[in-house]
Structure formats: C-alpha cells, structure tokens
Amino acid sequence: MLSDRKKKILCAVVDSYIERATPVASKDIRDEYLPDCSSATIRNELSTLESMGYLIQPHVSAGRIPSEKAFRFYVNELMYESNLTTAEAEMIEQYLNRKVGSLEDVMTAVTHIIAEITNYTSVVVKEDMSDTITAIKLLDLSNGKLLVVIVTDSRVLKDGMVDLPDDFDERMIASAQKWLNKIFCGKHVSEFINFDYPFALVNDEFAQYNALFKKIIDVLKKVSLMNGMDVEMYGENKMLAHSEYANVENARKFLSEMEDKERIAEILTNDGGEDGSTTVKIGSEENAPEGCAVVTTRVSLGDNVSGSIGVIGPVRMNYRKVLSVLDKISEIIIDLVGKGE
C-alpha cells in the first residue's frame, strides 16, 4: 500500500506528464503540487516509487515518467473525477441534438464531437444482433472445407469456412446441419454470442461431432458478430498533434493499425459490460494499439442492438476529460434512444 504522500506524488507525476509529455523533476512537483516539503524528500519518494515499478527514469539527469502500471493505478485509484466545462457540455448537447436522425447519423456525429473535444481518435461500434435466424446450411466444398451459411430474415447471407475432419461423410454433415437448425432457427443472431456449448447436448452417438460443432459455432459467432457490426471512426489525424507521434514512423504505424477496423471493434467490444459501464485499456495490457490507451463506454441502442463508444489516445491521455466526455455522451445517447422508442 502506498502512503498518502506517495500517492500525491505519483498523481502529480502523472498529471504533469499528461499535460506536458516531458519527464517530471522533483523540483517541479514541489513547486506545483507539494509546496510543503523539500525537493530532496520528493526525490527520495520518487526513488522508491521507481523501484516499485511506477516510474521510469529515461536517464539520470532527467526527471521521471510514469510507467503503464502508474497509469493503471492513476485511473483506478488516484484520479479524481472532473466535470466538463459548461461550454463543453453545451457544445455536446447542441451538436447531438441538432443531428437527430438515423442511428448512423448519430454515430457519425458522436465520433466527430468526441474527436473535436478531446483531440483524440474516436470510434463507435454498433452491434446489431436483432436478425432472426431462418436457416443454417453446411456446404461440403469437397476440398476438406465446409462452408457455413447463415440465412436471416433480413435476407442477408453470411458465410464462413471450417476445416472438415477427414472422417466426415455426407450423412454426418447432414445430421450436423439438422442439429444446428434445431437449436438456432427462429432465434436471434445474438444467441450465438452467448451460446455456451453444452456438453450434455452431445450424447454418445454424437461424441464424434463434438470438435466440429465447437468449430462451427465459433465460426457462427464470429461471422454473425462481424456482419452485424458497424464501425465508425473519426479523428485519426488528431493523434498526429501529440508529441508521441512527432516522428512519422510512429504516426504511420498508428494509422495503419487504425485501418484494421475489425481489430479495433474487437478491442471496443470484447468485454461486454453493462449499459453505461466504462472500461479503460492501457498500452500493452490488452490488444490496444501500440502506445495507446482505449477508453470504452457501453450503451444499449435498442433490443439486441448494443453500442460501444470509444476513445483511442496515447497512454498519456487526459483520462479525466475523456471519461467525463464519455459520461456526458452516453447519458445523451441513452436519452435519445429512450425517446426514440
């Protein structure tokens, strides 16, 4: 457990680093955050904080910068909540209320306003799982692969591929198909997502189908996820304004990571969560883009339609601001969606 003073100092380092992006010196902390103790004392504390893994010293005559562990701790325990300025809050209200229209328009508007206010990249993912499954077909491509086709009421065909075990014949494929249809037909696509392969379902007769079934259901999951997904992104370029991307190589890497919308969507959605819940992924912690943190808020957009609103910024992002912006936005969205029904 950290002493109160250590916490204060750590918080000071993080705050200062978020603002200035330069190593923080003991004297700076004294002058700006802790006037009632000497820089030498702070140096001692910094030194132990470093050995605890919270701080990093780029070189001996530089100050300290926070480690990812420090950011994590900051987000979880140190950071005090803040409110948007009324100007910002009004700006958001106005912007979103002006744009009441289709869900797509709102999504676009949301990414824009977030990116403008935060100066980071903003992403909104909509997962529409409201389609009803009409049929599931398994097609033997006779090259050892099986094509999985999902037919839904919105007449969209969705397909994916599975490797077929050697010892499967036509008859077995047919009965696998029968089983799948029996389980899923008439249900929402969302069933796939939460479907936990029930072991009991597989009696002795079907033991051999076990592996294949699992594979197929995984494909169904993935395919239906991808097809019901809509990703909007805005403000990739805003990132170039931050010092992390002062050299083009980093910028290029970031922008090309941003091109993989599927991966980004996956990052925003992979830990479900309640309506209104917020997640922060920092740096290498999860699959976040290199050197980035991702803040996500979940909102429900209707029956079987859920949304994730995210901000992607450097690990050194202004979490306070981002969190309060997301708070405000999700509040408005929930309100809008509520009205719409």
Partner DNA sequence: TGTTAGCACTCTTGCCGTTCGACTGCTAAT
Partner DNA sequence: ATTAGCAGTCGAACGGCAAGAGTGCTAACA
Which residues in this chain contact DNA in the complex, by CB under 7 A? 5, 23-28, 36-41, 43-44, 46-47, 50, 57, 59-64
Query: For residues 336 and 100, is the Cβ–Cβ distance under 8 A?
Result: yes
Q: How far apart are CA 36 and CA 102, in angstroms?
A: 56
Q: How far is the CB of 15 from DNA (least distance, A)?
A: 15
- Of 194 and 247, the one with the shorter C-beta distance to a copy of itself is 247
- Of 79 and 251, the one with the shorter C-beta distance to a copy of itself is 251
183 contacts: CB under 8 Å, gap ≥ 6 = none
Q: How far apart are CA 56 and CA 237, in angstroms?
A: 29
State the binding partner of 270 from DNA, a copy of itself, none, CB within 5 to 8 A by kind: none
Q: How far is the CB of 240 from a copy of itself (least distance, A)?
A: 5
Q: How far is the CB of 314 from DNA (least distance, A)?
A: 19
Q: How far apart are CA 209 and CA 300, in angstroms?
A: 36
Q: How far apart are CA 34 and CA 327, in angstroms?
A: 31
State the binding partner of 26 from DNA, a copy of itself, none, CB within 5 to 8 A by kind: DNA
State the binding partner of 259 from a copy of itself, DNA, none, CB within 5 to 8 A by kind: a copy of itself
- Of 66 and 289, the one with the shorter C-beta distance to a copy of itself is 289
Q: How far is the CB of 21 from a copy of itself (least distance, A)?
A: 14
- Of 124 and 133, the one with the shorter C-beta distance to a copy of itself is 124
Q: How far is the CB of 52 from DNA (least distance, A)?
A: 13
Separation in Å, CA 278 to CA 134, 146, 149, 274, 332 = 35, 39, 35, 9, 15
State the binding partner of 191 from a copy of itself, DNA, none, CB within 5 to 8 A by kind: none
State the binding partner of 285 from DNA, a copy of itself, none, CB within 5 to 8 A by kind: none
Q: How far apart are CA 65 and CA 16, in angstroms?
A: 9
Q: How far apart are CA 322 and CA 250, in angstroms?
A: 23
Q: How far is the CB of 339 from a copy of itself (least distance, A)?
A: 22
- Of 212 and 239, the one with the shorter C-beta distance to a copy of itself is 239
- Locus of tokens 């980093």: 250
- Of 16 and 177, the one with the shorter C-beta distance to DNA is 16
- Locus of tokens 């925003």: 268
185 φ, ψ to 5°? -60, 140
Q: How far is the CB of 65 from DNA (least distance, A)?
A: 10
- Of 25 and 231, the one with the shorter C-beta distance to DNA is 25
- Of 40 and 201, the one with the shorter C-beta distance to DNA is 40
State the binding partner of 245 from a copy of itself, DNA, none, CB within 5 to 8 A by kind: a copy of itself
Query: For residues 106 and 114, is the Cβ–Cβ distance under 8 A?
Result: no
Question: DSSP letter string over 257-290?
Answer: HHH-HHHHHHHHHTT---TT-EEEEEGGGSSPPT
The DSSP element (H or E) to which 293 belongs, if any, is strand 292-300
Please state the separation of Cα 199 from the chain's center in Å. Answer: 31
Question: DSSP letter string over 114-148?
Answer: HHHHHSSEEEEEEEE--PBEEEEEEEE-SSSEEEE
Q: How far is the CB of 119 from DNA (least distance, A)?
A: 25
Enter the tokens of residue 134.
């009409």
State the binding partner of 240 from a copy of itself, DNA, none, CB within 5 to 8 A by kind: a copy of itself
The residues that touch a copy of itself, with contacts defined as CB under 8 A, are 236-237, 240-241, 245-248, 251-252, 255-256, 259
State the binding partner of 154 from DNA, a copy of itself, none, CB within 5 to 8 A by kind: none
Residues paired with residue 150 on neighbouring β-strands, in sequence order? 136, 158
